[in-house]
Amino acid sequence: MWQLVLEADASGLWVVAFSPFEEHALIFERVPFDETASSPLQAIEDAVYDNPMLLLDFSKVTVLFDTRRFMALPMMPQEACEAMLRAALPADASVATEVLVSPLPAMESCVAFEVPADILGFLRRTFHNASILHPLATSAAYFQARHTRRSSGKTLVNITGNRLDVVTLGDKAPQVLNSFRFETPMDALYYILATRGSAEVADTDEIMVAGDLKARAALTPLLRKYVRYVMPAIFPSVMFRAGKASLSAPFEMIVAPLTAAPAGGQQH
C-alpha cells in the first residue's frame, strides 16, 4: 500500500515514503552519501543497503536522477533523443552510460538524460519496475496539468538545493524547460528573467515559486521588482494529507506520484 520516491543527487538521497490510503503517514529523510566511498556506485549502494526501509516491498517506486547531462527536446522516438543528446553532450569514453527519456506527452516534449550504466543497473535490480525520471520532468508535468487553460506564459520556478528548474508554458509545447545551478538569489533572478526574456514572456504573466522555503523567501521579493504577479506554487492537497513532512520535501518529489510515467523512465 506504500509508495517510495527517491531523488539522487551528487551528495545523497532524498527519501519520501507514504501511503495514499493513510493520513499523516508520510516519511521524509535525507540520506547523505559516504564521502569515503570508492565510487558513485558504491556510495548509492551503501546509502540504500544501510537503510532497510528502502528495500521493503513498495507498490510503486519512482527514482529521480539529478544530472546536468540532460536536454529538453520535442517528443520523438528514443533513438532520436539519444542521438540528439549524444551530439550535444558527447559521452565520456571511460564511463559507460545509458540515455533515458522522461516523456511529457501533454507538452509534446520530453527530457532526455544520461545515467551511468552501473548505477542504472543497480537501480533496476534493486527497485523492481521503478520509474526512473529526470527531476525537471515531474514538476513540469504537474504544472502543465494544473494549468490546461490560458496557460501560455505562466512560469514555475522550483528550487532544490542549488538547482533551479524553470518551466514556462506555451499553448502546448513549453516556451522554457530548463534547469540551472545557482549560488546566490541574484544568480537565480538572472536565469529566470533571461529565459523569460528569450521567450518574450510579458511581465504580467505569473511566476509561481516552489521548493526550498529559505530560497523562496530570498528570491520572491527580487522577482516582484520585475514581474507583476509572483506567488507560491499550488501545493497538492492530497500529499499534504499524507503528512506535514511533505512541506519539507523537494517539490518535484511530492508531485511525482501525481504524474503518470512509464516504468524504467524510457519513452516507447
User: pLDDT class for 10, splitting at 50, 70, 90?
Assistant: very high
The chain-wide mean pLDDT, for the chain, equals 91
Would you say residue 260 has pLDDT above 80?
A: no
- Report the alpha-carbon distance of residue 174 to residue 152 in Å, rounded: 8
User: Whole-angstrom Cα distance, residue 33 to residue 10?
Assistant: 8
Query: Sheet holding 163-168: strands in order across?
Result: 176-181, 163-168, 155-160, 207-211, 230-232
Are 141 and 161 in contact, with CB atoms under 8 Å apart? Answer: no
| Whether 238 contacts 254, CB under 8 Å | no
232 pLDDT more than 90? yes
CA angle 259, 27, 12 (to 5 degrees): 80
Counting beta carbons within 10 angstroms of the beta carbon of residue 249, is it exposed (0 to 12), middle (13 to 18) or buried (19 or more)?
buried
Taking the mean position of all CA atoms in its chain, how far away is CA 53?
23
pLDDT of residue 267: 41
Specify the DSSP class assigned to residue 90. P
Distance between CA 13 and CA 36 in Å, rounded?
Answer: 16
Contact 22, 79 (CB under 8 A): no
Query: Grid coordinates 532524498 are at which residue?
Result: 14
- Give pLDDT tens digits for 86-128: 999 998 888 899 999 999 999 999 999 999 999 999 999 999 8
pLDDT band at 25 (very low <50, low <70, confident <90, very high): confident
Query: Beta-carbon neighbour count of residue 247 at 10 Å?
Result: 14
Residue 261 pLDDT > 60? no
Beta bridge pairs of residue 165: 158, 179
What is the tens place of the pLDDT at every residue in 31-89?
999 999 999 999 999 999 999 999 999 999 999 999 999 999 999 999 999 999 999 99
Secondary structure of 97-139 in the HEC alphabet?
A: EEEEEEEEHHHCEEEEEEEEHHHHHHHHHHCCCCEEECHHHHH
Which residue has better confidence, 23 or 231? 231
Question: Tens digit of pLDDT for each residue in 173-190?
Answer: 999 999 999 999 999 999
Give 205's contacts (C-beta < 8 A, 6+ positions apart): 152, 153, 154, 155, 196, 227, 229
Mean pLDDT, residues 259-266 taken together: 54
